[in-house]
């Protein structure tokens, strides 16, 4: 329901608890369009999250590792309507190879749905003049989306912007969540993969990335640049759960060249899937006030 509400409002200017009021105050044509938008976005995001978590779950079952079914975490506010989904897996049971397969299956399964959604979402999106008269949200364009946009739509003319169809927005969220999970720290999918690739050396990489993130956010805040502040919550969660990865049941097990290559290629998705400022607010441009002399009058 929370993802439907976000899709229904798009970039909302009213809180979601005004949903009933909007139903009665919006004309039928606009209301139907918003309902369709809500269903497109909700179905897309939930399908991506389900594929991601079921990739983990089915691999865990395949290797006999105890794991729960996915738990979906609602967040009935913009911009996503969800905090994702998780499965609870018993630690210390999976070997190095099985941990690798379980960790990498989620992101790959999610991308199987994400990439077609981005393609068809681009086909249904429109390019219009960039807005200047009202506030809203701007979503950063990762390299992957930029490449696909150029392939499908061609270059966007100066002064114009891409207005995302709800399916494209769902694909954007899929890219963002996948890349975020592949950051090689702690209990994230990327943390699991990196530990399986290089063992305990992954702890030093994770600590270094965490300190780099803290320093970047602190630096930007100190100098009045709020573009990196959105990462504060992510850093706090990483600090809570820790940057260290627990050992597997058999760290000495060999992965084989195929898994090693696939693992490094998958981790590289962070580079093409994340942007420094995923979400930013834009405000209407205001014209500077013009001073007038006492006898001067404005043209009517």
CB 162 within 8 A of CB 153: yes
pLDDT at 298: 41
Between the alpha carbon of residue 299 and those of residues 286, 287, 294, 296, the distances in Å are: 20, 17, 15, 10
* 283 contacts: CB under 8 Å, gap ≥ 6: 135
d(CA 234, CA 238): 6
CB atoms within 10 A of CB 54: 18
Helical H segments across 129-187, by residue range: 143-153, 166-181
Average pLDDT over residues 226-240: 76
Q: Strand, helix or coil at 224? A: coil
pTM over 0.85: no
| pLDDT tens track for 242-289 | 888 888 889 889 999 999 999 999 999 999 998 877 776 666 555 544
Choose among 136, 170, 175: nearest CA to 37. Answer: 170
Structure tokens at 27: 């004309």
pLDDT at 10: 57
**Token pair 């890349």: residue:** 179
Between the alpha carbon of residue 90 and those of residues 61, 68, 69, 85, the distances in Å are: 12, 9, 13, 17
């Amino acid at each position: 329901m929370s993802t439907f509400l976000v899709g229904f409002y798009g970039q909302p200017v009213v809180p979601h608890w005004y949903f009933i009021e909007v139903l009665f105050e919006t004309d039928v044509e606009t209301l139907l369009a918003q309902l369709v938008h809500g269903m497109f976005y909700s179905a897309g995001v939930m399908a991506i999250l389900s594929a991601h978590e079921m990739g983990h779950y089915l691999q865990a079952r395949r290797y006999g590792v105890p794991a729960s079914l996915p738990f979906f975490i609602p967040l009935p506010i913009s911009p996503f309507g969800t905090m994702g989904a998780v499965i609870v897996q018993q630690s210390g049971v999976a070997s190095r190879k099985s941990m690798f397969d379980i960790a990498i299956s989620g992101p790959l399964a999610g991308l199987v749905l994400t990439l077609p959604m981005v393609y068809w979402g681009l086909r249904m999106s429109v390019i219009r003049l960039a807005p200047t008269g009202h506030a809203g949200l701007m979503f950063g364009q990762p390299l992957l989306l930029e490449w696909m946009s150029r392939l499908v739509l061609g270059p966007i003319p100066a002064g114009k912007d891409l207005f995302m169809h709800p399916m494209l927005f769902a694909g954007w969220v899929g890219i963002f969540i996948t890349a975020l999970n592949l950051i090689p720290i702690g209990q994230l999918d990327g943390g699991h993969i990196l530990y399986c690739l290089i063992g305990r050396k992954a702890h030093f990489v994770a600590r270094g990335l965490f300190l780099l993130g803290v320093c970047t956010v602190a630096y930007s805040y100190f100098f009045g640049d709020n573009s990196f502040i959105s990462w504060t919550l992510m850093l706090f969660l990483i600090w809570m759960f820790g940057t260290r990865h627990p050992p597997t049941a058999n760290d000495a097990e060999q992965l084989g060249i195929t898994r090693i290559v696939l693992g490094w290629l998958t981790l590289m998705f962070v580079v093409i899937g994340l942007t420094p400022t995923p979400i930013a607010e834009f405000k209407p441009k205001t014209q500077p006030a013009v001073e007038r002399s006492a006898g001067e009058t404005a043209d009517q």
